[in-house]
């Protein structure tokens, strides 16, 4: 598995992570199936799992599955604070620690910039006290990029999480270059555009350039495009399927597209002849 360095620390992370939106919002009857996915994720070299209180039961399910299979020490837990008010934020973060079953969080992010200044003040204190290792901010829309940008140069965040995909490449213009300039690691959400990219590509043949990169599916082409951007630290596709997980993880191995191949993937996506 290819790894990228977190600029603030020099620690490395595998480029393919695991999201939990919808897929881990399950009760105990589904824990065994999610345990298969999480165990296979780790076996294939994965570490970073991204979750949130916004995702229903996902934090609790993730913590229970990790505990039941001895995976806590092999995972990098990224979660979020998603509420208004500093006191409410502290309470929510303590609840996340309890659900995940960890004494501290690897990465705590302010979800969708909700009451961001209040929570960043708290997170500075938590980081100093060792309750969190890294601090970040997140959003999931192109329109939010301008809101995320000012935080990159303030020296208070270690990660920024944003949307970026072969279909929606706006982050390339400003947000990713700013992250590189200021030494901020990046997590990428919506690499498949919440499934819309699969629907759009369902009747398109996988282009030759993708096959030359070792891709067997469009999903692997989508992921290889994202992680081939040098500023991308980790992409976090969500899945509850072992087959899809293995396809996703394979995208993090082998050769990545160079600039000409990235352009060819864009051309193929846009329907041009290549």
Half-sphere exposure of 169 (CA within 13 A, CB side): 18
Q: What is the pLDDT of residue 197?
A: 87
Are 166 and 226 contacting, i.e. CB atoms less than 8 angstroms apart? yes
Q: Say if residues 228 and 262 touch (Cβ distance below 8 Å).
A: yes
Position 99 confidence tier, pLDDT thresholds 50, 70, 90:
very high
| 198-237 per-position pLDDT tens digit | 888 877 889 999 999 999 999 999 999 999 999 999 999 9
pLDDT at 69: 95
Binned at pLDDT 50, 70 and 90, residue 274 comes out as: very low
Give every CB contact of residue 35 below 8 A, 6+ residues apart in sequence. 65, 68, 69
Give me the pLDDT at residue 194, please.
Answer: 83
Measured between alpha carbons, how far is 30 from 53 in angstroms, rounded to an integer?
A: 19
Residue indicated by tokens 């901010």: 137
Domain boundaries along the sequence of the chain: 15-195+235-241
Please, which pLDDT band fits residue 150 given cuts at 50, 70 and 90? very high
Task: Record the pTM.
Answer: 0.95
Phi first, then psi: what are they for 164, rounded to 5°? -165, 135
190-214 exposure pattern, b = at least 16 Cβ within 10 A, e = fewer:
bbbbeeebeeebeeeeebebbeebe
The answer to whether residues 251 and 220 touch, using CB atoms and an 8 Å cutoff, is yes
Q: What confidence score (pLDDT) does residue 205 get? A: 87
What class has domain 15-195+235-241? Answer: alpha beta
Q: Which residue has the tokens 């360095």?
A: 5
- pLDDT for 199 equals 80
Residue 168 has pLDDT above 90, yes or no: yes
The region of weakest confidence among 58-67, 240-249, 263-272 is 263-272
Helical packing angle, 31-43 and 58-68, nearest 10°? 70
The answer to whether the beta carbons of residues 40 and 12 sit under 8 Å apart is no
């Amino acid at each position: 598995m290819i790894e990228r360095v977190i600029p603030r620390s020099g620690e490395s992370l595998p480029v393919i992570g695991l999201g939990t939106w919808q897929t881990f919002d399950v009760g105990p009857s589904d824990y065994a199936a999610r345990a298969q996915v999480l165990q296979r994720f780790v076996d294939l070299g994965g570490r970073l799992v991204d979750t949130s209180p916004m995702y229903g039961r996902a934090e609790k399910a993730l913590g229970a599955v990790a505990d039941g299979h001895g995976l806590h020490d092999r995972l990098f837990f990224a979660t979020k604070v998603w509420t208004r008010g500093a006191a409410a934020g502290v309470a929510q973060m303590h609840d996340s620690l309890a659900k995940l079953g960890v004494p501290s969080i690897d990465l705590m992010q302010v979800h969708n910039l909700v009451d961001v200044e209040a929570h960043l003040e708290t997170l500075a204190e938590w980081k100093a006290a060792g309750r969190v290792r890294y601090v970040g901010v997140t959003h999931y829309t192109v329109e939010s990029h301008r809101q995320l940008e000012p935080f990159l140069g303030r020296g208070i965040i270690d990660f920024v999480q944003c949307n970026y995909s072969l279909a929606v490449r706006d982050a390339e213009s400003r947000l990713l270059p700013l992250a590189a300039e200021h030494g901020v690691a990046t997590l990428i959400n919506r690499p498949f555009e919440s499934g819309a990219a699969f629907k759009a590509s369902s009747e398109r043949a996988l282009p030759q350039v993708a096959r030359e990169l070792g891709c067997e599916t469009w999903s692997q082409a989508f992921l290889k495009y994202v992680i081939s951007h040098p500023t991308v630290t980790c992409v976090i596709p969500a899945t509850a399927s072992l087959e899809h997980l293995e396809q996703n993880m394979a995208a993090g191995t082998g050769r990545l597209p160079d600039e000409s191949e990235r352009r060819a993937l864009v051309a193929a996506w846009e329907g041009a002849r290549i």
